[in-house]
Amino acid sequence: MSVWAQDPELELPTDDAVVLNERGTWGGIGLPYASANSTDGLGLGLGGELFHRPEGEEDGYDFKLTLSTYFAVNGRYQNHFVQVERFGERNNIFFQAGYSRWSSMLYAGAGGADVLVLRPQQAESGNRQSAPFAMASVSFPVDEFDLYIQGFTRFAAVTPNPGGVLDVDRPYGAEGGGYGQVAIGVTKTTWDRFPLPRDGAYLEMAVLGNIAGDRDGQIEPSGGIFVEAIRWKSFGRHLTIGARGNLTNMVGTQPFFIQDLLPGRLKDEFGFEQPLTGYGRTRTRGDGLWAAAVEVRPYVGRIQKGFFDMALYGSVYAEEAFLFSGTDPGPHMPTVGVGFDLVWQGATVLRPFAAWGWRAEPGQKRRGVPQFGLALKSPL
């Protein structure tokens, strides 16, 4: 019988649900999606995931393959990537490769006081950039922690808009170049389930070493740190409250063509749209980030009927963030948002959301900036 499950704890499948066998089960999903924001306008995409769940488990996965392709309707932006995750007894492996292209990328400086500056759209936009990227990491259990090493690289070909802000400012890497990063870090996980925990915590600390080169042959080494802590707490059967804090900061010169990425271990497209809504989705973000967020997530229920297995959660979240240019944090940048977390077969999170952020303007009141879209992870 198909029902909304009233207890969000893990449950054994009903007689007509998917039966887990000795070798585990395979599942997946593919669907079109849409997204919109003040920077790139309306975009359309197609994505899919194939995953394997271990024997006896009803949530989570030990292998996942993700594919995504996305185009802004106005042609300003596109992103395509493939991602593989594998969790084993001795090690965990993560790999991602893709390609991003802007025909009209916004450049308004890089964090700090640049956040305050409002220039005409034609001065910030019109920059062209093509950037293939790849990332791989492997982690090993060490006592109660996981030790990981990760490599990331990106190459960019850039054509600044003549007379625009990028052309006039000429930051390091204004015409493109290459960038590599090695991260060595530790993580500790105590959550009760994955990918959408109800109780527990996640802690990550890493040291980052970077090397960059521009088209003129100028080499710039740099380094930094990354710290992130997340805590989830359930209140009864139908409510979870979570909080996140993170800090990233760099020492040394970062090329402009790497500064559109969110800092941290996973510089991925999945969560790109939700944080820093008030700043614009693909604007350059600076040398570092201080951020704190909180989410309230009520549980609605779960339907299990043969192949169909969907859990539904609501979500309300808020974030406060600062973007750094060197040691200058600039003004605070709050974001609020609402959404739904749809967990397909206990492994894939589909999150339609709407968010609203504010950006400071010189001598003006804060201006609201809306976004909506589909993400594949929670805002924490």
Per-residue pLDDT of the chain (380 residues; tens, 9 = 90+): 233 333 444 443 333 333 434 478 899 999 898 877 667 778 899 999 999 988 877 788 999 999 999 999 999 889 899 999 999 989 999 999 999 999 988 787 766 666 666 667 678 888 999 999 999 999 999 999 999 999 999 999 999 999 998 999 898 999 999 999 999 999 999 999 888 899 999 999 999 999 999 999 999 999 999 999 999 999 998 999 999 998 888 888 889 888 777 655 665 444 455 566 666 655 566 777 888 999 999 999 999 988 899 999 999 999 998 878 777 777 788 889 899 999 999 998 888 888 888 765 555 555 677 777 777 777 77
Give residue 120's pLDDT. 72
The pair phi, psi for residue 12, each rounded to 5°, is -70, 145
pLDDT at 35: 79
SS3 for the chain is CCCECCCCCCCCCCCCECCCCCCCEEEEEEEEEEEEECCCEEEEEEEEEEEEECCCCCCCCCEEEEEEEEEECCCCEEEEEEEEEEECCCCEEEEEEEEEEEEEECCCCCCHHHHHCCCCHHHHCCEEEEEEEEEEEEEEEECCEEEEEEEEEEEEEEECCCCCHHHHHCCCCCCEEEEEEEEEEEEEECCCCCCCCCCEEEEEEEEEEEEEEECCCCEEEEEEEEEEEEEEEECCCCEEEEEEEEEEEEEECCCHHHCCCCCCCCCCCCCCCCCCHHHCCCCCCCCEEEEEEEEEEEEEEEEEEECEEEEEEEEEEEEEEEEEECCECCCCEEEEEEEEEEEECCCEEEEEEEEEEEEEECCEEEEEEEEEEEECCCCC
Q: Please, what sign has the CA dihedral across residues 265, 269, 274, 280? A: positive
**pLDDT value of residue 263:** 55
Cα–Cα dist 13/29, whole Å: 20
Residue reference for tokens 């909080």 = 243
Backbone angles phi, psi at 256, to 5 degrees: -60, -35
Q: Does 2.40.160.50 match the CATH number of domain 25-375?
A: yes
Distances (CA, A) of 268 to 26, 261, 376: 24, 8, 10
Query: According to the model, what pLDDT value does residue 374 have?
Result: 75
The domains of the chain are located at 25-375
Amino acid occupying residue 322: F
- pLDDT for the residue 355: 85
pLDDT at residue number 4? 34
Q: Is the entire prediction scored with pTM above 0.75?
A: yes
**218 and 246 in contact (C-beta within 8 Å)?**
no
Cβ atoms of 182 and 151 within 8 Å: the answer is yes
What was the pLDDT predicted at 17? 37
